[in-house]
Chains A and B, each alone.
Chain A
Amino acid sequence: MLLQQLINGLTVGCVYAVIALGYTMVYGILEFINFAHGEIYMLGAYFGIIFLALFTSSGLAASNFPLAFALTVLLTILFCSAYGFTIEKIAYRPLRKAPRLSPLISAIGISIFLQNYVMITQGATDKVFPQKFGDASFNFLGASATSLQLIIIFASGLMMLGLHLFIRKTRTGKAMRATAQDMTMASLVGINVDRIISVTFIIGAGLAAAAGVMVAAYYGLVNYSIGYVAGIKAFTAAVLGGIGNIPGAMLGGVVLGLIESLGSAYVSAEYKDVYAFIILLIILLIKPSGLLGTSVEEKV
């Protein structure tokens, strides 16, 4: 029972972690909460369903499901990254020098817009994931993990590792870190800050998109409103780990997933969605810098 809850928690936690990366990367550079980030994840879930349905009707899914699924994920990431890029360019970039409330409100506007954009085009009712993943499950110690759960955990781990390597090893990754540390300085040494910010949004959106497809497959149902709750939870994960801190986001996501899973199993399932908020409140009030963050004194 406990082990089972841990597996379930880890699966969900990995998804939160992957979404949380987008929040944390953007916050690290712009000190701005990209409120619309959760909607990208929602879009990812929808695109996943749409593309897979396309492959199903064209027969590809029947003949070669892994290929069809991989293509679906790829296309979804492509589309969502384009959305992320566009949103930053249209709604956030003009506000970079505006008072701090302005980009946040703009992001809220985008979030509402995207929710309703999907609701109007795709309908308000739940969408069903076209393909059921094999129920093959692996049993150990009395608990079972489905193949999909293992895929999610594995794929999330891979994405996090990939991001980590990207940021540590590549030129662009190093430029991202420099920009996060000091934007003015970075632009003085010749880094194209606008480009770096675009890249950040593209990567964040791509990750959220992947998370969206995985969740759509995992739960089998999606709705235009899932982005809001998932967004808040991923944000909580980011804050929990220490916002702006990439390993922190991963840790925060997993911890939150576990807490939720254990909480619903042993405390109350009805209040499942409240745990994230309560953790968020406690963290912000007690240690706003999060588990892995360091605090800085404000400049006067």
Chain B
Amino acid sequence: MKRFLHSPVASALCAALLFLPLKDLKSAVILFVFVLAGISAAPYIRKLKIPQIPFKASGLSGFLPVLTITIFALLPFALKDYYLDVLIMFGIYALLALGLNVIVGFTGQLNLGFAAFYAIGAYTYALLNTRLGLGFWPSLPIAACFASLSGLVLGVPALRLKGDYLAIVTLGFGEIVRIVLNNWDTFTKGPNGIAGIEPPYIAGFSLGKLQYYYYLVFMVVIAAVFVIRRIEFSKTGRAWLAIKENEIAASTMGIDTTAYKLYAFAFGTFWAGIAGTLFAAKMQFVSPESFTFMESVLILSMVILGGIGNVYGSILGAFILVIMPELLRDAQLYRMLILGLCLVVLMIFRPQGLIGAKDASAGR
């Protein structure tokens, strides 16, 4: 009896039984088979060594990044508009993941409300543009700085809190921002959103066309990678990493931990502001729906999936989570389900993500 209770069959039976009331017998049987197969295969899967993707050998000057950049630069000539559109969203998410990675990956401060800063960037441009007629270019730095400032406003009180508490406070902040955007009708037009936002212009020439917009986003992402990598390998980056690894030791080594956590907040949310502006200008429309808690979780998943603390990992994570669902259109319904499962599986089997956190040789 005891043996049976610990057998895969018993586990699968339990799973099927727990599931049964929610659907029908047929689905429960299918689930039983899947769980049984999964549990039986687990020991073998665990033995498989998933190789570390060899990013180590290549700094930014290396072969792989150059190849990647070249491919991405040529893509607009080969792809249909639909795919360009997806790639633009990939770029915007890459910026978000890069920004969040500074906070979560470099500094180890969990932030569950990152979409709020994305929203602040987007709405800042939307409002500046539709109300004051300000163009994209002057708005971009304003929106970025405003997002960054909001990061500071949240960070000053919140960063005294540790770990889980900080996570919850950032989550609360994210919700407050969304609910305010949703309800402050006179200012934000509430759930209807703001329409008629202008695309960027250069000397009177609109960048609204997908090909041009693609290159704009592409350039911004490359700029972000450059800047973030350089900060990463400076005293600031070292201080962030030290805080993540051991906050107490960091403080006794002369790092003003509160200040550096704040810098990380301000710097990370800056990129969310940029991403928000790019998003608003691309869609020419913003509404609170785009900035839910699930959005924050999605961005966080990108950072974790690619490899917490790794700049290229964040980009890879964004790529996978934006492109995959497009490729598997039929699986759209299962997208979040699988994402949730992936987070659990990653934490248990591969907490360092696909690429892994350490990228020791690069940047020197």
Q: Which residues in A have some Cβ–Cβ distance to B below 8 Å? A: 31-33, 46-47, 50-51, 79, 82-83, 86, 90-91, 94-95, 98-106, 108-118, 120-122, 228, 232, 235, 239, 270-271, 273-274, 277-278, 280-281, 284-285, 288, 300
Contact = CB atoms under 8 A, between A and B. Distances in A.
B169 interface: yes
A104 B167 contact: yes
Given A31-B164, A112-B336, A281-B169, 4 more contacts: A100-B163, A101-B108, A110-B344, A112-B343
The 8 closest A-B pairs by CB, nearest first: A109-B343, A113-B340, A112-B340, A116-B337, A277-B172, A109-B344, A121-B22, A106-B347
Given A102-B351, A281-B172, A288-B165, A47 B21 contact: yes
A98 B341 contact: no
Given A101-B110, A116-B337, A274-B176, A86 B168 contact: no
B304 interface: yes
A239 B340 CA distance: 26
Given A83-B18, A86-B18, A116 B336 contact: yes
A82 B343 contact: no
Contact of A285 (B157, B171, B304): B157
Interface in B270-296: 293-294
A78 to B, nearest CB: 10
B340 A120 contact: no
B175 interface: yes
B322 to A, nearest CB: 17
Which one of B168, B300, B336, B341 has the highest number of Cβ atoms from chain A below 10 Å of its Cβ? B168
B83 interface: no
Interface in B119-168: 157-158, 160-161, 163-165, 167-168
B339 interface: yes
Contact of B171 (A31, A90, A232, A274): A232
21 contacts: A31-B164, A33-B167, A86-B14, A90-B344, A91-B347, A98-B347, A100-B164, A101-B108, A104-B167, A105-B347, A110-B340, A111-B340, A112-B340, A116-B336, A120-B334, A121-B19, A228-B293, A232-B175, A280-B169, A284-B165, A284-B168
A300 B248 contact: yes
B79 interface: no
B173 interface: yes
B22 to A, nearest CB: 4
Contact of A281 (B27, B108, B167, B173): B173
B337 A108 contact: no
A274 B179 contact: yes
B347 A116 contact: no
Given A86-B14, A101-B110, A113-B344, A273 B175 contact: yes
Interface of B: 14-15, 18-19, 21-23, 27, 104, 108, 110, 112, 157-158, 160-161, 163-165, 167-169, 171-173, 175-176, 179-180, 183, 248, 293-294, 297, 300, 304, 333-334, 336-337, 339-344, 347-348, 351
A284 B110 contact: no
Contacts of B160: 285
Contact of A280 (B22, B112, B168, B343): B168
A273 B179 contact: yes
Contacts of B297: 108, 112
B55 to A, nearest CB: 22
Contact of A82 (B18, B176, B180): B18
Contact of A51 (B15, B21, B27, B112): B21
A90 B343 CA distance: 13
Nearest to B182: A270
Nearest to A91: B344
A116 B22 CA distance: 12
Nearest to A43: B22
A239 B110 CA distance: 18
Given A79-B18, A106-B347, A109-B343, A120 B176 contact: no
A284 B159 CA distance: 11
Contact of A277 (B157, B163, B176): B176
A228 B110 CA distance: 18
Contacts of A274: 175-176, 179-180
A195 to B, nearest CB: 15
B22 A122 contact: yes
Contact of A101 (B27, B163, B165, B176): B163
A232 B168 CA distance: 9
B6 to A, nearest CB: 12
A106 to B, nearest CB: 4
A278 to B, nearest CB: 7
A95 B294 CA distance: 23
Contacts of A235: 168
Given A86-B14, A116-B340, A288 B161 contact: yes
A109 B294 CA distance: 11
Which one of A51, A105, A121, A239 has the highest number of Cβ atoms from chain B below 10 Å of its Cβ? A105
Contacts of A101: 104, 108, 110, 163
Contacts of B110: 101, 104-105
Given A108-B343, A116-B337, A285-B157, A121 B23 contact: yes
Contacts of B300: 105, 108
A79 B157 CA distance: 41
A103 B340 contact: no
Given A105-B347, A112-B336, A228-B293, A33 B164 contact: yes
A231 to B, nearest CB: 11
A277 B180 CA distance: 12
